[in-house]
Amino acid sequence: MAKPEFFPVILAGGRGTRFWPLSRKAFAKQLLPLNSSQSMIQETAARLLPLTAAENFWIITNEYLRPPIMRQLKQLPRKQIVAEPMGRNTAPAIGLAAFILHRRNPKAVLGLFPSDQVIAREKQFRKDLQTGIKIAAAGDNIVVMGVNPTRAETGYGYIETGAAYAGSVMRVRRFCEKPKEEVAKEFVKAGNFYWNSGMFLWSAETLVKALRTNLPNTAAQLEKIAAAWGTQKFEATLRKLYPLCDDKSVDYGILEPRSKAGEEGSNIFCVPAEWGWNDLGSWAAHFEHRMAQDKKKQNVIAADGEFIVEAKGNYIHAPGKFVAAIGVENLVVVDSGDALLITTIQRSQEVGRVVKFLDAQKNSKLV
């Protein structure tokens, strides 16, 4: 069997509201260097580049983020960094690339990748991806990359697996929504549940077929948009028809309906993985990630000098400033120059409330 063409599709349209005040509409979380000197989206592209050519990459983003993404990813084709005229969730976003690529090569394998995740063991990640690509290319199959849970996390969706398929790969029984803590503990104890990483693999033909079956209205719009690809009518067609697509995620729009056919009939497979995965979903998650990199740390501080007395468990971001922390614990303090966030590690998931407030106030300067 010939090696399948592989096309990574990186979804980069989110606002990253839980990383306010650093993450803004025009410079969101995926453009920030939260894990290294590279931004999150630069890391995402770099870890995938060994698997395929730069001209095979697609980025689906929005009009605000397209210019800075083009500046950060100069090696990728500009025309394949596509700005959605309106956010319509993940199913139309990946579906747009699928319909365009289907016209060229129905057997091409597409991978859906969030733009803002951390992968510590990248060689193992690519090895597992290659396993998934082969399965996706072998028929009407969908592959989800599942992460071995390390705790009873309530902020992630879960995948329940069934019978073994090949090697460590298993068939998928069902997808589970974010559970309550007691249910999450049962999932982890059972041993056959994995975190849903949000990374999926399928051929263009498989995805187009699934969209036509489960989201026929969306499929009809995407087919017309794809027909205009490469012509002067593309941008106008995209602006006119894309907002008519269903606002559906891949999980709700495609995977859950398909999984109802049962683990033998759905042809959905889970590649379980241990890569040192983290989706850095909040300031608290970022704090924990940075603390894990250096077990001796008591605080994570980005500043131009510091004075710390009996302070621990704090995340303080104030570059260019001297920071003094005395007798405080479990605080998140983020200074962006024009805004200051002060909260606790425990309540950092609620930062999105600030963005909703500022949106309601039409304070475009701070969002």
Tens digits of residue pLDDT in 30-51: 999 999 999 999 999 999 999 9
41 plus 161 within the same structural domain:
yes
CATH number at residue 253: 3.90.550.10
Q: Are residues 227 and 289 in the same domain?
A: no
Answer yes or no: do 55 and 169 share one domain: yes
Question: Over 80: is that where the pLDDT of 2 sits?
Answer: no
Of 247, 278, 309, the position where a domain reaches its end is 278
My answer on whether 322 and 206 are in the same domain is no
User: If 0-12 CB within 10 Å is exposed, 13-18 middle and 19+ buried, where does residue 54 land?
Assistant: middle
Question: Within a domain: residue 57?
Answer: yes
Q: Are residues 185 and 313 in the same domain?
A: no
User: For 73-108, how does the pLDDT look when each residue is reduced to its tens digit (9 = 90+)?
Assistant: 999 999 999 999 999 999 999 999 999 999 999 999
Same domain, 303 and 164: no
Q: Are residues 199 and 216 in the same domain?
A: yes
Domain coverage including residue 227: 6-278
**Structurally, how many domains does the chain consist of?**
2
Rounded Cα distance, 341 and 366, in Å: 12
Please indicate, yes or no, if residue 1 is contained in any of the structural domains. Answer: no
Domain boundary among 227, 252, 278: 278
Q: What phi and psi, each to the nearest 5 degrees, are found at residue 162?
A: -120, -120
Residue 333 belongs to a domain: yes
Average pLDDT over residues 245-270: 95
- Same domain as 168, residue 271: yes
Question: CA-CA distance, 227 to 219, in Å (whole number)?
Answer: 12
